[in-house]
Amino acid sequence: MTLRAFAVQLIAFLSIAVAMPASAGTHGAVQTTWRLLDYIAVDYTEAVSDGEVTNELEYAEMQEFSASVAKRMAALPANAQRAQLVADAEALVESISAKVEPAVVARDARRLASELIAAFPVPLAPEAAPDLARGAALYAQNCASCHGPSGGGDGPAAEGLDPPPIAFDDVIRARERSAFALYQVIGQGLEGTAMPGFSDLPAEDRWSLAYYSGSIAFENVERGRRIWNDDPKIRARIPDLAALSGLTPAALGEAIGTERADAVMAYLRAHPEAVASDTTGSLALARERLQQSLAAYEAGNKAEARELALSAYLDGFEPLEAVLSTRDADLLASVETGMAELRAAIGRGDPVAAVAQRVNALDVLFYHAETVLAPDNASEASAFAGAFAILLREGLEALLIVIAMIAFLRKAERTEVLPFVHGGWLSALVAGGLTWVAATYLIGISGAGRELVEGFGSLFAALVLLSVGIWMHGKSQAGEWQRYIQKTMQHALSRRSAWFLFGLAFLVVYREVFETILFFAALWTQGHADAIFVGAASAIVLLALIAWAMLRYSRRLPIGTFFAYSSILIGILAVVLAGKGISGLQEAGLLGITPLPNLPRVPILGIAPALEPVAGQIITLALIALGYWRNRRKGMQVRTPQAEAG
């Protein structure tokens, strides 16, 4: 059996440790015996080579330790496995006496250690991620005098010690030691050496010291971070602290290569929280649905695979979208693009291998997202920036449309209709508040429901703005406004038109309020309520200043210029909302997706890397251009008879 097999077997036994307690005395005996076996597995190579003793002192120590293991095995409480453990321990004594090769002794010692833990389970992992800063302080206080300030085994108290203190910076030996082995030695010391036990230290301190001392030999932390983040198979191999604590770098190296294993261990022993974090930014549901989707696709159930992939986005990822957008917009865009391309691949019937590759790529992106969303990254500054950016971004679209409506009514000297506009946006705020109450305390709004509201709302607003923009452009032509006032003004803003303005104001504001509420609900879970309030208040002040400046400036513009500028602004907003509306319906699963991988995602302009929203925006632009062309042609036809009459 290989070292890798032994390590895997050991990891499998770790979960038993919590569920099967033993007596305190048995725990101590088992831990000491396990520690001796680990020491033999690591240090026997220093004593024997090619069947010859190379270090008499080390060899005598190996004989002593193996005899102690056999004696301790025989003293353990009787159970079904003890007889075999004793026989294997005696066989290990004979192997060492026969000076067999170090690889064989190491293999047998580790196998025996695994069997011991299986027969007499003991706690093998910390309850929480060790604190490396605390570990460094404890090392300086308790260990540096012998093991050296840098772990080279050359401390001032090391002189004359036999055997000499371990050099923690010896990477060859460090590869053979698990964090658990170091924890055991720290707690109970090591017989036959000057190493004392530190059982008076709390368990969490001993774990912190074990992880710190075990990290000294491994330096390439940043490379390890990149490998860990980018390889889901490695993360699956080390799913939790129990697996990490019982794993030696050598065993991991057999699976992924020595250099990569050294780098991964450098990162994980320096940052054990990477496998211990349980964050509000967890994408476990998204991962689960993606795996279910892949399984359904492999089974030939294309429709179910598509629905599960859609659920992975709507139910697993979309609720965290708001917070991620404030911390890493590029990563958000990558995830959204990847999810869309996965659904498109399923819809096209791509090969299973290609779909599996997309699922694995998304798993890597999810891990990056979880790292960004971790509570440790939720500072007051990020909460303020998130609240400010969300409210400013979502409020600006609605503000521009409402201000254009108010400015138009003032230019037309129809201020008696203004209450309908103000009533529309105020009602939208009230409805948004009721939506928040309902979504929080009464009902759940599904991801599909959110996207449908935003999608249909955006498309309807885009259609209305398209017609309004073309109409306003027509009135910007020379003389058109005066003729309009003279002929139709009394009917144009009738009570029916006033209610239309109420509905438009309500729609555009409610759509933004609805999305803002969802974003703030996600942001709220990250904490820092004061910073969120200040960020939101700052955005409201800025929006108010923008509204004041626009209204004041619009009063000074000639009527024709006002309509020309307003028509351009409204036309741009129509194009933006057309793209957002179609994207929303795609995310809700109502429309198919044809990815355009080389097209960047630009949310502020409604641009998404898919054919359908781009086509919708192009069609909207074409309709605007056609409407403007007709307005100009009509204006020229009107001016020509006037010129001839003159």
For the segment 571-582, the average pLDDT, to the nearest whole number, is: 81
Question: Whose CA is closest to 581, among 551, 550, 615?
Answer: 615
Report how far residue 44's alpha carbon sits from residue 46's, in angstroms, rounded to the nearest whole number. 5
**CA 109 to the chain's CA centroid:** 40
The H or E element that residue 52 is part of is strand 52-53
Residue with more model confidence, 135 or 500: 135
Residue with more model confidence, 360 or 170: 170
Q: At what angle do helices 495-524 and 380-411 cross, to 10 degrees?
A: 180
Say if residue 95's pLDDT is above 50: yes
The answer to whether 322 and 603 are in contact (CB under 8 A) is: no
Give the three-class secondary structure for 301: coil
Tens digit of each residue's pLDDT (9 = 90 or more) over 395-415: 777 787 788 778 777 776 777
Token pair listed for 444: 């759940």
Question: Which letter does DSSP use for residue 439 in this model?
Answer: I
**Residue 16 within any structural domain of the chain:** no
For the segment 495-509, the average pLDDT, to the nearest whole number, is: 75
**Residue 21 within any structural domain of the chain:** no
Give the three-class secondary structure for 1: coil
Per the DSSP assignment, residues forming a β-bridge with 105 are: none
For the segment 186-197, the average pLDDT, to the nearest whole number, is: 79
Report how far residue 466's alpha carbon sits from residue 55's, in angstroms, rounded to the nearest whole number. 88
For the segment 284-295, the average pLDDT, to the nearest whole number, is: 84
Question: Whose CA is closest to 143, among 86, 89, 214, 77?
Answer: 214
Report how far residue 280's alpha carbon sits from residue 537's, in angstroms, rounded to the nearest whole number. 25
Say if residue 31's pLDDT is above 50: yes
Instruction: Check whether residue 461 and residue 503 sit in a common domain.
Output: yes
Report how far residue 468's alpha carbon sits from residue 466's, in angstroms, rounded to the nearest whole number. 6
Matching residue, tokens 């300030």: 149
The CA-CA-CA angle for residues 49, 50, 53, to 5°, reads 50
Task: Please enumerate in sequence order all residues whose Cβ is within 8 A of that of 68, keeping only pairs 6 or more positions apart, or say none.
Answer: 36, 191
**Residue 12 within any structural domain of the chain:** no
Instruction: Check whether residue 559 and residue 507 sit in a common domain.
Output: yes
Give the three-class secondary structure for 602: strand
Residue at 337: amino acid letter: T
Instruction: Check whether residue 51 and residue 195 sit in a common domain.
Output: no
Residue at 417: amino acid letter: V
**Residue 11 within any structural domain of the chain:** no
Say if residue 638's pLDDT is above 70: no
Burial of 499 (0-12, 13-18, 19+ CB in 10 A): middle
Instruction: Check whether residue 99 and residue 214 sit in a common domain.
Output: no
**Residue 441 within any structural domain of the chain:** yes
Instruction: Check whether residue 506 and residue 417 sit in a common domain.
Output: yes
Per the DSSP assignment, residues forming a β-bridge with 602 are: 607
Token pair listed for 445: 């709004």
Residue at 182: amino acid letter: L
**Residue 10 within any structural domain of the chain:** no
Rounded to the nearest 10 degrees, how much is the dihedral formed by the CA atoms of 572, 578, 581, 585? -160
What does the mean pLDDT of the chain come to?
Answer: 77
Instruction: Check whether residue 423 and residue 563 sit in a common domain.
Output: yes
DSSP 603-630: GGGTB-SBHHHHHHHHHHHHHHHHHHHH
Kindly report the backbone phi and psi dihedral angles of residue 414, in degrees, each rounded to the nearest multiple of 5, phi listed first. -120, 55
Q: What is the pLDDT of residue 443?
A: 44
DSSP 390-439: HHHHHHHHHHHHHHHHHHHHHHTT-GGGHHHHHHHHHHHHHHHHHHHHII
**Residue 18 within any structural domain of the chain:** no
Matching residue, tokens 């308790």: 142
Segments forming the whole domain that contains residue 151:
132-277
Q: What is the pLDDT of residue 436?
A: 66
For the segment 161-177, the average pLDDT, to the nearest whole number, is: 87
β-strands 52-53, 48-49: how paired? antiparallel
- The model's pTM: 0.43
Q: What is the pLDDT of residue 451?
A: 57
Instruction: Check whether residue 542 and residue 448 sit in a common domain.
Output: yes
Residue at 479: amino acid letter: G
Tens digit of each residue's pLDDT (9 = 90 or more) over 254-283: 889 999 999 999 999 988 887 864 444 467
Per the DSSP assignment, residues forming a β-bridge with 610 are: 595
Q: What is the pLDDT of residue 212?
A: 93
Residue with more model confidence, 426 or 557: 426
Token pair listed for 505: 């104001």
Band (pLDDT 50/70/90 cuts) for residue 525 is: low
State which of 330, 348, 373 marks the end of a domain: 373
Q: What is the pLDDT of residue 496?
A: 65
Give the three-class secondary structure for 167: coil
Instruction: Check whether residue 402 and residue 519 sit in a common domain.
Output: yes
Residues in the chain: 646
Residue with more model confidence, 598 or 63: 63
Instruction: Check whether residue 324 and residue 259 sit in a common domain.
Output: no
Q: What is the pLDDT of residue 627?
A: 81
The answer to whether 124 and 245 are in contact (CB under 8 A) is: yes
- Count other Cβ atoms within 10 Å, centred on residue 153: 17
Tens digit of each residue's pLDDT (9 = 90 or more) over 337-359: 888 889 889 988 999 988 988 88
Instruction: Check whether residue 565 and residue 629 sit in a common domain.
Output: yes
Say if residue 441's pLDDT is above 90: no
Q: What is the pLDDT of residue 364?
A: 80
Report how far residue 403's alpha carbon sits from residue 392's, in angstroms, rounded to the nearest whole number. 15
Token pair listed for 168: 């923690």
Report how far residue 563's alpha carbon sits from residue 584's, in angstroms, rounded to the nearest whole number. 31
The answer to whether 259 and 217 are in contact (CB under 8 A) is: no
**pLDDT above 90 as % of the chain:** 14
State which of 119, 154, 188 marks the end of a domain: 119
Instruction: Check whether residue 168 and residue 311 sit in a common domain.
Output: no
Report how far residue 614's alpha carbon sits from residue 583's, in angstroms, rounded to the nearest whole number. 9
Total structural domains within the chain:
4
> Which of 277-286, 303-312, 438-447 has the weakest average pLDDT?
438-447
For the segment 424-451, the average pLDDT, to the nearest whole number, is: 65
Band (pLDDT 50/70/90 cuts) for residue 86 is: very high
State which of 331, 348, 373 marks the end of a domain: 373
Report how far residue 201's alpha carbon sits from residue 207's, in angstroms, rounded to the nearest whole number. 10
Report how far residue 38's alpha carbon sits from residue 7's, in angstroms, rounded to the nearest whole number. 12
**Residue 398 within any structural domain of the chain:** yes
Question: Which letter does DSSP use for residue 53 in this model?
Answer: E
Q: What is the pLDDT of residue 457?
A: 63
Instruction: Check whether residue 269 and residue 297 sit in a common domain.
Output: no
Tens digit of each residue's pLDDT (9 = 90 or more) over 111-164: 898 788 778 876 667 878 888 889 999 999 999 999 999 989 888 888 888 788
163 upstream amide cis, omega within 30 of 0: yes
> Which of 226-240, 334-348, 470-484 has the weakest average pLDDT?
470-484
Give the three-class secondary structure for 595: strand
